[in-house]
A = this chain, B = another copy of it.
Amino acid sequence: MSTASEQTTTATGRKARGERTRQAILEAAVHLASAEGLEGLTIGRLASELSMSKSGLFAHFGSKEGLQLATVEAARGVFIREVIGPAFEAERGSPRLWKLCDTWLGYVEGGVFRGGCFFAAASAEFDGRPGPVRDRIAAIMKEWLKALGRAVSEAQRTGHLDQDVDAAQLAFEFNALELGANWAFQLHGDRRAFARARAAILERLRLYSKPAGLRLLPAVKEKRRAPRARRGNRQ
C-alpha cells in the first residue's frame, strides 16, 4: 500500500508517466508470477509481453529482487481488495468469518490470478530460499493467518462460537482447507474441491456454533452422503 502511493509527482501535482507504466508492469507481473513463479518471472519475458525493452523495464526496479518485492506488494494489494475488503462488509462474528473463507475460495475459483492463489504459489516456491522476498511473503501469510484467527476470536466474543475452541487451531484448519482446494484446482482442474472446502468449513462452523451463531450461517444444503455417479464431474 505504501508503494502504491509513493508516486513521483510534478510541480502541478500530476502523476508522472513512469508511475503508470510501473503499475502496468506490476499488473502483468502479478499474473505471470502466479502462473510461472517469481523466479520464472523473467525480465525479458515480462518486457516482451508488454512490448517494451528489458532495460526500460529494469530501470523501474533496480534489480530482479526489487521487481519481485514490488510484485509481492502488488499482489498483496489485490488480495486485500478482493478478499479482505469484501469480508469486512459482513457483520462481525460468524458472518465475517464465513465470508472471509468463502471469498477466499471465490478469489481462487474466479481466476483473480492466472495461476491460482499468488501467495500459495509464492510461499511454496520461496520457503527454501532465505532473503527479503521470502521474509516478506512469510510476513504476509502470517498477517493473513492472524486475520483469520482474529475473525474466529471475534465470533467467540460475539457469542456465535463456542468459547472453548482454539482460535489459532481453527484458523490453521480453515487455511489448510483453502490451500487444499487451491491445490486440487491447480493440479487437477477439479472445481468440486471448492465445494468440498466450503462443506468442510461450514460443517466445522456448525459443530462449534452456539444457537445465536447457527442462524447466521448459510442453510445446510443436503446430507453428507457418498454420491452415486453424479453427472457432470470432471475426470
Residues of A within 8 A of B (CB): 35-37, 39-40, 114-116, 120-121, 123-125, 127-129, 137-138, 141-142, 163-169, 172-173, 175-177, 179-181, 183-184, 186-188, 193, 196-197, 199-200, 207, 223-227
Contacts and interface: CB of A to CB of B under 8 A. Distances in A.
A184 B178 CA distance: 13
A108 to B, nearest CB: 12
Contact of A196 (B173, B183, B223, B226): B173
A231 to B, nearest CB: 16
15 contacts: A123-B186, A124-B125, A127-B187, A142-B188, A163-B226, A164-B224, A164-B225, A165-B226, A166-B224, A166-B227, A167-B226, A169-B196, A173-B200, A176-B179, A176-B180
Given A138-B188, A141-B187, A176 B181 contact: yes
Contacts of A187: 123, 127, 137-138, 141
Contact of A224 (B115, B165, B197): B165
How many copies of this chain does the complex contain?
A: 2
A184 to B, nearest CB: 7
Contacts of A188: 138, 141-142
Nearest to A175: B180
Nearest to A163: B226
A183 B115 contact: no
Given A39-B39, A116-B127, A124-B125, 13 more contacts: A36-B129, A121-B124, A123-B183, A123-B186, A124-B183, A124-B186, A127-B187, A128-B186, A138-B188, A166-B224, A176-B177, A176-B179, A179-B180
A224 to B, nearest CB: 6
B128 A166 contact: no
Given A164-B224, A167-B226, A226-B167, A173 B183 contact: no
Nearest to A190: B172
